[in-house]
Amino acid sequence: MRRAALTTGLLLAGVTVAGCAPSAGTETPTSTSVAPTSVSLPPQPQPAADRSCPYLTSDAVADADGEKVTAVQISADKPHPACFFYTFGHAKAVTVQVYVGDTAVARGLVDRAAPVQTSSKAELPGGWEGGLLSPGKGAVYAVAKAGTAIVVNTDQPQSVKGREITKQVIANLKL
């Protein structure tokens, strides 16, 4: 009886091992993942001039964000400057960054603003994808499509406000 159990055990082990080995004529799959490459991202935009935002009105931001806009500044970035919208006490209410260029940089900007691993998924019609988060004070809504990225920061905790502003930017710039 003991010999039969040992023989059965060895047979089962052999079948298990044989089932794991690749059969003749087939290749064992190999990993094709590529190690992440580092992409040089532009620095965070900085206000450079007191000027109206060329692609988003103060009224549109006030309507979407729920706060009166008392001042606007833009960065020196080209072709689309980042826009900084302020409310009372010169507190920053909304910042909008639009990047057009390299696809890897666009994705990197979105990931820097709303890291894929820690944010909720953001999607808009037309293939825009990215992330959104509300880290306590304010919210971030960041999406990219091909070589274009839009990052919206708002001092309001609801990401829906950033989403609405992003949709207006896409429409106004015909992206």
Residue pLDDT, tens place only, 146-175: 999 999 999 999 999 999 999 999 999 999
Q: Which sign does the torsion angle of CA 124, 131, 60, 173 carry? A: negative
Residue pLDDT, tens place only, 54-113: 999 999 999 999 999 999 999 999 999 999 999 998 899 999 999 999 999 999 999 999
Q: Is the pTM of this model over 0.75?
A: yes
**pLDDT at res. 29:** 30
The two structure tokens encoding residue 69:
């806009």
Rounded mean pLDDT, 6-11:
36
**pLDDT at res. 15:** 33
Q: Report the DSSP beta bridge partners of residue 98.
A: 150
- Greatest alpha-carbon pair distance for the chain in Å reads 92
**pLDDT at res. 34:** 32
List of domains in the chain: 49-173 (3.40.1000.10)
Per DSSP (E only), the strands in the chain are 49-50, 71-74, 83-87, 91-100, 120-124, 128-136, 138-145, 148-154
pLDDT exceeds 80 at position 19: no
Q: Alpha-carbon distance 169 to 148, whole Å?
A: 12
**pLDDT at res. 37:** 53
**pLDDT at res. 46:** 97
Q: What DSSP character marks residue 41?
A: P
154 close to 165: Cβ distance less than 8 angstroms: yes
